[in-house]
């Protein structure tokens, strides 16, 4: 594929971060947290100023047992004003469960490759698209926010490179269904800044009215480098996981979401606001470590916070 030259733009003044640790993080952990522990984690993250939290998944309980109590988690959360609590769903059954649980936003997820889609949800991609249309109707009737996630958008652990045109075609079909945002997932950390550049530029040229969100992993250490490339292209929406925990249990070699506190620290150093109070976020990471009984992969909790940083990012004061 011919390489696309990326323009160097000023990065955004503010970035939106969706915290996915309570879902994408915990689903890949061997330790099974109790419902009360999950609720405490979600509420601690909300108290730190995290405005978007992916609090669970409405999937088959036998497939992802860590998410078996998602209804109970949503029922027990003390919801903070201004916080959006979302969940992922693979099919219409999950969407109906999510509506009954009073989620704020639903994210349908499907893969850019047939092999990963079969591994992840046991369906062909076209079957997932049929389910996505059903989910869109359910969400629309319930008056909730409908989003879509395209997994392995930067490469598949089974098939290797994923054609960019295939990813764009899926994005277009999901937008036609009414998706208010498309998230591109680097499910196994196969992405690098060149791929991020090519995907973001292709998407922005084709669908300029709907901002993309990136769900990046650091399995191979390129996570924050990929964020920087995306920032230079104007992307201001990212997923991240507290402590850097998580990954896809249905894709080999998939651990390592980008770490929320590492991302927030970098953004605040750059003068980019997030609305998240970093010291409180690190406290939430310590809560998570106690729950898991181990240290987490994130680096900021180990290295500490640069003392000159403002608490929630943005321009530095005197």
Classify residue 133 by its DSSP letter.
H
Residues 6+ apart with CB under 8 A from 292: 29, 31, 33, 245
Residue among 156, 237, 248, 259 flagged as catalytic = 248
Do residues 78 and 110 lie in contact, with contact meaning Cβ atoms separated by under 8 Å? no
Q: What is the dihedral of CA 130, 135, 136, 140, to 10 degrees?
A: 150
Residues 6+ apart with CB under 8 A from 263: 17, 224, 227, 238, 240
- For 117, half-sphere exposure in the C-beta direction (CA atoms, 13 angstrom radius) is 22
Burial class (CB in 10 A: 0-12, 13-18, 19+), 227: buried
Q: In whole angstroms, give the CA distance from residue 46 to residue 299.
A: 21
Classify residue 9 by its DSSP letter.
-
**248 is known as an active-site residue:** yes
Look at the alpha carbons of 130, 133, 138, 141 in this order and tell me if their dihedral is positive or negative: negative
Residues 6+ apart with CB under 8 A from 9: 232, 233, 234
Q: What is the dihedral of CA 268, 274, 277, 282, to 10 degrees?
A: -70
Q: Which two tokens stand for residue 173?
A: 């079909």
Q: Which residues of 47-81 are buried (b: 16+ CB within 10 A; e: fewer)?
A: ebbbbbbbbbbbbbeebbebbbbbbbbbeebeebe
**Residues that are catalytic:** 248
């Amino acid at each position: 594929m011919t390489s696309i030259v990326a323009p160097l733009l000023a990065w955004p003044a503010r970035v939106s971060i969706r915290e996915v640790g309570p879902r994408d993080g915990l689903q890949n952990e061997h330790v099974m947290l109790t419902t009360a522990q999950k609720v405490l984690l979600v509420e601690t993250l909300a108290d730190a100023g995290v405005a978007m939290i992916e609090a669970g998944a409405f999937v088959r309980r036998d497939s992802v047992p860590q998410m078996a109590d998602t209804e109970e988690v949503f029922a027990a959360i003390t919801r903070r004003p201004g916080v959006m609590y979302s969940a992922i769903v693979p099919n219409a059954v999950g969407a109906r469960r999510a509506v009954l649980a009073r989620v704020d936003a639903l994210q349908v997820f499907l893969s850019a490759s047939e092999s990963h889609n079969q591994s992840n949800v046991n369906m062909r991609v076209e079957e997932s698209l049929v389910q996505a249309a059903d989910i869109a109707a359910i969400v629309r009737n319930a008056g909730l926010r409908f989003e879509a996630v395209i997994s392995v958008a930067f490469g598949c652990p089974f098939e290797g490179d994923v054609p960019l045109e295939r990813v764009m075609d899926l994005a277009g079909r999901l937008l036609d269904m009414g998706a208010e945002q498309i998230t591109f997932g680097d499910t196994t950390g196969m992405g690098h800044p060149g791929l991020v550049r090519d995907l973001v530029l292709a998407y922005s040229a084709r669908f300029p009215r709907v901002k993309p969100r990136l769900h990046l992993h650091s399995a191979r250490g390129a996570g924050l480098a990929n964020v920087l490339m995306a920032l230079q292209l104007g992307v201001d929406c990212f997923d991240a996981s507290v402590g850097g925990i998580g990954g896809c249990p249905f894709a080999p070699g998939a651990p390592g979401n980008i770490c929320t506190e590492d991302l927030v620290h970098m953004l605040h150093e750059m003068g980019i606001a997030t609305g998240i109070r970093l010291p409180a976020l690190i406290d939430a990471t310590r809560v998570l470590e106690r729950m898991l009984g181990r240290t987490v992969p994130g680096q900021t909790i180990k290295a500490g916070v640069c003392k000159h940083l403002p608490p929630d990012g943005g321009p530095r004061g005197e």
